[in-house]
Amino acid sequence: MRESQVKRTPSEPLLQRIVKILLDRREASLVILLAIMLVPIVARSPQFLSLDNINRILNDISILSIVAIGEFFVILSNGIDLTVGSIIAFSGMASGMLNEAYPNVPVVLILLLGIGIGAAMGSLNGLLVAYGKIPPIITTLGTMSIYRGMTFVLSKGTWVTAHEMTTTFIGFPRRTFLGISALIWMAVIVIALTYYFSRHTRPGREIYAIGGNATAAKFVGVNEKRTRFMVFVISGTLFGFAGSLWTARYASAVNEMATGFEMQAVAACVLGGVNFAGGAGAIPGVVLGALFLGVLNNALPVVYLSTFYQTLVQGMVVLLALIINTVVDQRKTRKLLAQRRAR
């Protein structure tokens, strides 16, 4: 092994080394952009970085992070899951209705119901994709309507409002432990577990393998069908969990809830450096992507941008971030090629 080629000379200044390490990471450009974006915002309104507001942003992105991580595993396997909003809606509606009908059922069971519903719906997606060999985008385009339709059928078109639910249920996301809300804790737990899963377990490794090169993975005995099935179960489970949390946090369950939320989830992944073709990406990037979207959503009203412009600006900033990502990526590729030639 020629370690000499990797080791950098110790005389190199520390700052330069840090910059280099940052540039080596796909997520790096996002951190830099986030910092650049914060400058005018904080200049306009210094309270933006107050503990209160940071807490608000983190609460806002908790559900998005959980959902984006679910989407991450599917994209990592070179798939896509469009059922984000629909599973959230069905699970959220079911959670709200359960709470309304049986106020005594503990919150934990409501969450488990959401998780169970999500897992079941994700399994159906997974079965169709892995064993029915239907492309993920087609499969989830279909089930997305089916699940949303099921929500309407379940609720018979009505919704569950705040006063129909127990204060225990709708109050629990705001309950704090060590000064941090339960909602944020949920996200932290999901992030920690999935991070460990993706990096240190065999199934996690196999998802990377299938997404990177399904043929080569098959040639070394990775069970492609099982792995593809699994990613949809994971994503469905997380979406279902997010559905229960959504109803509790927003204290209502409506049929149209979380419509179009899949786009936010995909955006968080792509912003976080997840390769859309599969095989590359990591949980910290996804969380960073969600954080980026959260800061953006939170900041636009602060800088007195009219609501009419907010969506427009959001789209532009996301696109800009992606362009920077791509440029950094291409530079890295060129550097690698040059290195390879030099060897």
Partner 1 sequence: MEGRELAFKNALDAQHAGIVAIHQEASMFLELSVTENIFMGHHLRHPKTKRLDGKGMRERTRELLDQLELSIDGDTLVKNLSVAQRHMVEIAKALSLHAKIVIMDEPTSALTTREVEDLYRIVRQLRAEGRAIIFISHKFEEIFQICDYFTVLRDGQYIGEGFIKDTTTDRIIRMMIGRNIDHMFPKKDPKIGEEILTVENLSQLGAFQDVSFSLHKGEILGFFGLVGAGRSEVMRTIFGIDRRSGGTVRIDGKPFVPKGPHEAMAKGIGFVPEDRQRQGVILSMSIGNNITIVQLDSLCKMGITNAKRELEVTRTYGEKMEIKAAGWHVDADTLSGGNQQKVVLAKWIGTNPRILILDEPTKGIDVATKAAVHEFVSEMASQGIAVMLVSSELPEILGMSDRVVVMHEGDVTAIFEREELQEEAIMRAALGETKEARRA
Residues that bind partner 1 (CB under 8 A): 1-3, 5-6, 200-203, 205-206, 208-209, 211-213, 215-223, 275, 278-280, 336, 339-341, 343
Tell the smallest beta-carbon distance from residue 25 to partner 1 (Å): 13
Tell the smallest beta-carbon distance from residue 163 to partner 1 (Å): 46
Length of the chain: 343
Residues 6+ apart with CB under 8 A from 165: 96, 99, 100, 247, 251
251 vs 286, beta carbon nearer partner 1: 286
58 vs 233, beta carbon nearer partner 1: 233
Tell the smallest beta-carbon distance from residue 328 to partner 1 (Å): 16
Among 11, 47, 82, 53, CA closest to 236:
82
46 vs 221, beta carbon nearer partner 1: 221
Neighbour-count burial for 38-52, b at 16+ CB within 10 Å, e otherwise = eeebeeebeebeeee
173 vs 211, beta carbon nearer partner 1: 211
**Whole-angstrom distance, CA of residue 67 vs CA of residue 167:** 25
Tell the smallest beta-carbon distance from residue 5 to partner 1 (Å): 5
131 vs 309, beta carbon nearer partner 1: 131
The CB density around residue 166, as the number of other CB atoms within 10 Å, is 17
∠ CA 206-84-105, nearest 5°, is 100
The CB-side HSE value for 321 (13 A sphere, CA atoms) comes to: 31
Radius of gyration of the chain (CA): 21
**Whole-angstrom distance, CA of residue 158 vs CA of residue 253:** 9
Six-digit token pair at 181?
């809300």
Tell the smallest beta-carbon distance from residue 189 to partner 1 (Å): 18
How do strand 176-177 and strand 180-181 relate by DSSP bridges?
antiparallel
Enumerate the β-bridge partners of residue 199.
Answer: none
208 vs 239, beta carbon nearer partner 1: 208
163 vs 335, beta carbon nearer partner 1: 335
Please say whether the beta carbons of 169 and 110 come within 8 A: yes
208 vs 292, beta carbon nearer partner 1: 208
Tell the smallest beta-carbon distance from residue 40 to partner 1 (Å): 37
Q: Which residue has the tokens 């994503």?
A: 235
Tell the smallest beta-carbon distance from residue 321 to partner 1 (Å): 22
DSSP 88-144: HHHHHHHHHHHHHH-TTS-HHHHHHHHHHHHHHHHHHHHIIIIIS---HHHHHHHHH
280 vs 313, beta carbon nearer partner 1: 280
Tell the smallest beta-carbon distance from residue 325 to partner 1 (Å): 16
Tell the smallest beta-carbon distance from residue 209 to partner 1 (Å): 5
